[in-house]
Amino acid sequence: MKDTTISLGLATTGLDPLRHDIIELALLPLDYNLEEMPEITPLVMRLRATRPDFADSRALALNGLDPTEGMELAEATDTFRRWMADNGIARLAPLGHNLDFVLGFLRYRLPGLMSHFNLAKAKDTMLLASMLNDQATVMRRQPPFSSMGRAALCATLGLPAEQAHRALPDARATAAIYREILSHLAVA
């Protein structure tokens, strides 16, 4: 059993984890180069909203998902744990874009899963990009990123941003952003 870095992606019925639901969740296993691990199939789950009447129509228009379709949260929790056990994963080191947002939804909607994450090894593309902007500002240079959104970072870095606001494509884009930014950093 080992820790495995995973890129997290999710689609929600809105922006407030206290009010809105996760309706799609993806865990994309990554190797030490932050490339997709071919030996472990990504976990993608469609979840049924517990409160579909609270869904924000703008969020649903972005992801194109029906909040009344998918598995119940208990089934999702079991599927998640079975996927970890089947793949010999002890804990997950999460990589996310705006990881606080992602983990906020997991804390409120799937709290039983939080113990499976090693947050000491967490990585965040938005935080990394923001730090590079801060570094550029301190050095009196133009910050490299004018916006912190995933699509904007993909555009700035010359990366494709396919099917935005769907869990697995977002997880793949997040991993690509992190890899691309790291490839430009010099190690002292």
Q: Are 44 and 62 in contact (CB under 8 A)?
A: no
**How many residues are given for the chain?**
188
Q: What is the pLDDT of residue 2?
A: 73
State the Cα–Cα distance between residues 86 and 114, nearest whole angstrom.
19
Q: What is the pLDDT of residue 162?
A: 78
Give me the half-sphere count of Cα atoms (radius 13 Å) on the Cβ side of residue 170.
Answer: 24
State the Cα–Cα distance between residues 125 and 135, nearest whole angstrom.
15
CATH class of 2-183: alpha beta
Domain parsing of the chain, residue ranges: 2-183
* Listed residue (12, 50, 27, 145) closest to 96, CA to CA: 27
Please list the pLDDT of the chain residue by residue as tens digits (188 residues).
578 999 999 999 999 999 999 999 999 999 999 999 999 999 999 999 999 999 999 999 999 999 999 999 999 999 999 999 999 999 999 999 999 999 999 999 999 999 999 999 999 999 999 999 999 999 999 999 999 999 999 999 999 877 788 999 999 999 999 999 998 876 54
Q: Quick one: angle between helices 150-157 and 167-183, nearest 10?
A: 40
State the Cα–Cα distance between residues 14 and 141, nearest whole angstrom.
36
Q: Which residue has the tokens 């996310």?
A: 96
Q: What is the pLDDT of residue 65?
A: 97
Q: Are 97 and 177 in contact (CB under 8 A)?
A: yes
Alpha helices (H) along the chain: 57-63, 73-86, 99-109, 125-138, 150-157, 167-183
Cα dihedral 156, 166, 13, 18, rounded to 10, equals -70
The separation between CA 161 and the C-alpha centre of its own chain, rounded to angstroms, equals: 14
pTM for this predicted structure: 0.94
